[in-house]
Structure 1
Amino acid sequence: KSAPAMLRISFFLLTLVTSALSGPCPQSCHCHGDLQHVICDNVGLKRIPKVTEQTKLLNLQRNHLPVLPSNGFSSMKGLVSLHLQYCHIKEVSSQAFKGLKKLVYLYLSNNEISIIKSSAFEDLTELTYLYMDNNKIIDIPKGLLSPLINLFILQLSMNSIRELRPGVFSGAKDLRWLHLTSNEINTIHPGSLDDIENLAVFHLDNNQLTTYPSAAMSKLRVVEELKLSQNPMKVIPDNAFQSFGRYVEKIFLDAMGLEKLSDGAFNGVTALKSLHIENNKLTTLPSNLVFTSLQNMTLHGNPWQCNCNLAHLRRWMDSNRLRPAAVCASPSRYRGQQVRDTAAFSGCRLKIRRAKKRGLF
């Protein structure tokens, strides 16, 4: 036979061998890039399909997989991204992801997960992004996250978590973004955040915290964004943000029923750019709040007492083009007037200078 014919036969045989080794695309699924991407979105699956080691992305969204069994993905050693949203998952078995040592992205959002067995995340040493929001998780067992030494983002919003206990984040030392919005957290125990002192973004909004967890929060060193909105907390105590005060740029304290920001609440806070304290019961601001770096404040929905204690706020407003809305509730002669427009602060500089001479400031 001629050389071109022999070449064509060799290529055909090689294709057959390659196909035999790689296996077919799972029934009803779509496969791309020589099975590197396997898409089985909403195809009626009731069990995990078989794919090969060369598959890097497996999308199983919108199927019916109530239990993720042990070793269910163990043959898929090349997986980098695994999508399991909207799969009616209720239980994640022990060693459910065993063998997935290259997995970076794991999406478990929008399921009904209430049970996560110990060792469920064994072997996930490269996992960087873990999304488990909108489930029914009540508790994170101690040691569950220990294998996740490269975890960067953990999304646990919209679950039913009630408390954070010491050791809950053990092993996740590189965690930088932690989202716990819309849980039922009423207690953050001292020591529970010790393992994640490098956290940069911490969302705790819409929980049930009645007191600021000072002991636990004091272990955080480099928080840049903190959300505490919609927690029923009346007071922010002294030194609340001091441990990360040089780094924090955004603080959200809106809609909490706050009655007081303690005089030393913002001790050590020097880089704050955005402060949200609207829809509370605040009448004044602490004297140690540094305005020099502030670019944005939201203040409306508070019964501000327009006297010289708010003069520093008015001076900041006069120098800021945004000039946020804030209405005086008292004294009565200024009630209903905008802080930025009222004459309540005329003469405050002289009064403050006299008070300083008398040692009152």
Structure 2
Amino acid sequence: MLCPTSPHLALLALLSVAGAVGPGGPSPSETPGILLLSTNRLASVSTASFQHLPELAELDLSGNGLGALHTGPPLPLLQELVLSHNALGVLPTLQGLPALTRLALAHNNISELLPGAFRAVGQLKDLNLRGNQLRTLPEEVFEGLAGLKDLDLSDNALDELPRGLLTGLELETLRLSGNQLRTLPSGFFPEEHMFAFVFLAGNPWRCDCGLAYLRGWIADNDFSVYIEEQRSEGLQINNDPRSPMCDAPLRHRGSPVLEFKQACGKAGDADLDIDGTMTEEGTPVPSATVPSTNPISHHPEPANLPPWGCNKAGTP
């Protein structure tokens, strides 16, 4: 069922579904199987409304202020569903869409996703969740999406991501820009997997030893790190491994994560607050001097002195 906010819009919507709209109204594409119903102020839609369109392959419902999408009988040939720029607060039930390969949910109000949320649409190749209100994600949220190639999580409020989030995925493009990420867990990126594009800019990265893993990954995969920039000539996408910037501590703010240098132990250790260098593999190398086991001194200690940090009786 289509539920516009006025009788006039209801008529336009129903005519559009029937493929008989007049000038100025929402119109389906001249290509069979494509239906454009964007910007109609539809408050609620049921996929049952489209059952008389068995060849429907692409459905655009963007910009309607939709608060709900109800899925009914299957739309067996639907490959593309655009729900961007609506008012969806929860992920719609995605049953009955076995052929879906592209799902656009950008710029809604979705704040939570459950484990296996997209399991019913296992053929997805392109999933756009940009500009929602996600703060974190369960590790199994993308379970069952082995064919997913493009995942857009940019411009949410993500402040942490689980280590196994990308397990089982074969992504080509991953967008994480514009979130609240301060670090990524060690092993977050699947080993030996080559990404074509990864977007990491616009996060408040905390450049201490906890970021050694990400710094090392960027150094090893600099050809995959890109940035999106809006310019007068339009949106530009450029390779820029220096685009992820440190936000904290204050002494590192504004410096590229790639240039961060810190004396740490193994990746993931706390910040030791000692200047040092990084190897090409991202393994920190401390610059502190280790005392010799046979120090040369002009005033050698008497043999009866207690060890460092102990009293004469040997107690701490």
2:278 and 2:285 in contact (8 A); partners too: no
SS in 2 for 1:215: coil
CA distance in 1, matches of 2:77, 2:140: 26
Q: Which amino acid aligns with 1:155?
A: V
Q: Which has the higher contact order (CA 8 A, sep 6+)?
A: 2
For 1:123, the equivalent position in structure 2 comes to 52
Distance 1:269 1:289, change over 3 A: farther
- What displacement does 1:286 show? 3.0
1:207 to 103, 123, 132: 132
For 2:159, the equivalent position in structure 1 comes to 234
Asked whether 1:171 is paired with 2:96, we answer yes
For 2:144, the equivalent position in structure 1 comes to 219
Distance 1:66 1:252, change over 3 A: same
Distance 1:333 1:211, change over 3 A: closer
Asked whether 1:141 is paired with 2:70, we answer yes
1:132 to 61, 68, 72: 61
- What displacement does 1:110 show? 0.9
For 1:112, the equivalent position in structure 2 comes to 41
Distance 1:332 1:123, change over 3 A: closer
For 2:88, the equivalent position in structure 1 comes to 161
After the TM superposition, which residues 242-261 of structure 1 pair with which residues of structure 2 at under 5 Å, given as runs?
A: 242-244=167-169, 247-261=170-184
- Map Cα deviations across residues 185-216 of structure 1 (whole Å, 9 max, x no partner): 11223343112111111100111112114333
SS in 1 for 2:140: helix
CA distance in 2, matches of 1:294, 1:239: 23
Q: Which amino acid aligns with 1:183?
A: N
SS in 1 for 2:35: strand
Asked whether 1:181 is paired with 2:99, we answer no
Which consecutive unaligned segments of at least 5 residues does structure 2 have?
A: 1-6, 230-237, 263-274, 287-316
For 2:291, the equivalent position in structure 1 comes to none
Distance 1:71 1:135, change over 3 A: closer
CA distance in 1, matches of 2:22, 2:187: 46
1:152 and 1:175 in contact (8 A); partners too: yes
2:222 and 2:240 in contact (8 A); partners too: no
- What displacement does 1:337 show? 5.0
After the TM superposition, which residues 253-332 of structure 1 pair with which residues of structure 2 at under 5 Å, given as runs?
A: 253-267=176-190, 270-283=193-206, 284=211, 286=213, 289=217, 291-292=220-221, 294-298=223-227, 322-325=240-243, 327=245
CA distance in 1, matches of 2:119, 2:108: 21
1:161 and 1:184 in contact (8 A); partners too: yes
2:158 and 2:179 in contact (8 A); partners too: yes
1:221 and 1:243 in contact (8 A); partners too: yes
- Map Cα deviations across residues 26-68 of structure 1 (whole Å, 9 max, x no partner): xxxxxxxxxxxxxxxxxxxxxxxxxxxxxxxxxxxxxx84214
- What displacement does 1:171 show? 2.0
Distance 1:268 1:150, change over 3 A: farther
2:41 and 2:65 in contact (8 A); partners too: yes
Q: TM-score, normalized by length of structure 1?
A: 0.58
Q: TM-score, normalized by length of structure 2?
A: 0.65
- Map Cα deviations across residues 69-106 of structure 1 (whole Å, 9 max, x no partner): 998689x7xx6xx77897489xxxxxxx9xxxx95010
- Map Cα deviations across residues 212-242 of structure 1 (whole Å, 9 max, x no partner): 1433312211111111112111101111111
Distance 1:189 1:142, change over 3 A: farther
Distance 1:87 1:198, change over 3 A: same
- What displacement does 1:294 show? 4.0
- Map Cα deviations across residues 150-169 of structure 1 (whole Å, 9 max, x no partner): 1111111001111125xx22
Distance 1:212 1:71, change over 3 A: closer
Which consecutive unaligned segments of at least 5 residues does structure 1 have?
A: 1-63, 90-96, 301-319, 356-361
2:91 and 2:110 in contact (8 A); partners too: yes
Percent of aligned pairs sharing the same letter: 22
Distance 1:236 1:285, change over 3 A: farther
Distance 1:133 1:269, change over 3 A: farther
Q: Which amino acid aligns with 2:141?
A: A
